[in-house]
Chain A
Amino acid sequence: MFAYVVKRLISGVLVVTLVSMAIFLLFWYGPSSPAQPICDRETSNRCTQTKLAVYEKTLGYDNPVYEEYGKYVKGIFVGRTLTIASNDYECGAPCLGVSYRTKQPVKEELVSRMPATFSVAIGGAFLYLLFGVPIGVAAARRRGTVADKALVSSFLFISSIPYYLFALLTWLYLTITFPIPFFSDTGYFSIAQNGPLKWFGGLFLAWVALGIFGCTQYTRFTRGAMVEALSEDYIRTAKAKGLPTRTIVYKHGLRAALVPVVTIFGIDFGTLLAGTIFTERIFDIQGIGYWSLQAVQGRDLPVVQATALFSAVVLIIANLLVDVVYSVLDPRVRLS
């Protein structure tokens, strides 16, 4: 197990390295000069060839690509000093660059935005598991009945709506058309500064949107896994032992059905932690997702790079955790 985790971590590091290289190269060899965005920004869109050349030089874009990538990697480990248009910015390790827009080190902003994204992700995931799994179990137990069929088809309908539309409609109806007083002012308010109530009120609608949408999917996953588990021979054995129905369904059935659900959830949750772009944008939550969207729109290359790298790291860790948890849940699986 330990050897397995080490092996997976090594391969994870390799993937992150490759991702960082890919991102770096994509910007380096992009259609316009990588210095163009900052030149445009600093000169209020009056960037001339000469000015651009200056920016390119200070940013090191006249150097060979491997040299600059080396500096970038070195910055992550020991930090570096970045020069943008004759101003020097101190960027401590792990240096992910300095935002073109705010001139702040990207790392600090990333850290400051984590609570918002994590709040959205944890709350939403909590909701959809809380409702999705039990509803899925209930549907599986009543499979084939009218209630089951109605539930499955209505949930299928919801999950076939694009999520951004679903979230947008939720926001529109619950803040504009039928505004709910306390919850209409959406956004992220830190607990430390605004107290838990404000925090809760601001995130509530985002959670609802994420929760309902996820719930429809997890209901279907759970129902499927549960239907399969309940048709297994060991369920018949459990019944033949004289166990009460609750024990049969939850201890024997759900225990087995959870394995695939947990696997999907691990990857899903990783994706949420890396930033929920639509949710954050629609409910005006200043998290990593929103930030990355703004960075793309503002051509803030260091931020785009940093958020992409961050989601790669989060997903790799989530994957590893899923595999480890899988081996704990299913004793037949040996990690090697």
Chain B
Amino acid sequence: MRTLLVWLAGALSLAGSSQAALASGWNMPVGVTDLSREIYNLHMTIFWICVVIGVIVFAVMFYSLIRYRHAKGAKAANFHENTTVEVIWTAIPLLILVGMAVPATATLKKMYDTSDAELDVMVTGQQWRWHYEYLGEDVAFTSNMSTPRAQIRGDEPFGENYLLEVDQPLVLPINRKVRFLFTADDVIHAWWVPDFAVKQDTIPGFINENWVRINEPGIYRGQCAELCGRDHAFMPIVVHAMEEDDFDTWLAERKEAAAEEALGVEREWQKEELMERGEAVYASICASCHQPDGEGSPPAFPALAGNQRMLEDREWHTNVIIDGVSGTAMPAFRSTLNPVELAAVVTYTRNAWGNDTGSEVQPSTIAQRLGQ
């Protein structure tokens, strides 16, 4: 038993002295918005009220335990009722609670006020990534975790931002009120960035609102907070908050790139081009369920390699990707992917991993199909 205790003490002191302990917080972050600061203060106020009550209550308790020990010959009193005391210790907590409720109510009202936003961002949760759309700006993209699986498996050393890094961060301006519109394509997720004190469920069929006005430029990280299936731990959120000018420049560039992409729908694509693009789309969107090698993980996620129905019926194959399959985990990608990406991924899946249909689908065909 002694060895166990020594071992335990060793483990504890190790934990206390390691680097990460210094870097990590023990407490809620104050955050970088007025509201997150307000919520932090509310949290600390309630915390200290609880500490004071706890100290008083436990002091009386431990005083009694020490002072009135049977072993020391304490003689028990016989009182067992006092209405006055009961009324007092019902009323005082009630007053303390009212005192807590007043500032909480005020803060809550501010959190719910999503009016007068200068920028609207639609956030869509998908298994297991985030899709961001700048409403009215024709800019949209998907954000995937970029931590390599080899790090997770332990084949490579952990990176600095292990599990909290993405391929494309959400970019937001500081000092502007940004309204988020949250929804989901499949199951419920929750978008949470602690530094903004914004956590909101993204629910299929619902649109939730929340908002943020960031005070300082920087990179802020968060995670999905609602259990959403296998890779719940692996859909982080990274927000890059920029000075307003920088943000405007960034947004203009992205708009230009999006317009160029739209032109690509008109032209005839080479099969090699489609395959190359399709491989990238597959890796970022499809591989999390159907696996990089197309073997899937049945029964939930069918194999694509050698899938007879898919290979024989191109029409059906295309429709499944565009419309999803009702009652299964396969979502509709009509609004997440553009015609080029859809055509590319159909072509890729028909010709990868030994699938040798040789057939391809042109973006213009998909655009027509979507237009119907």
Mutual binders A and B: no
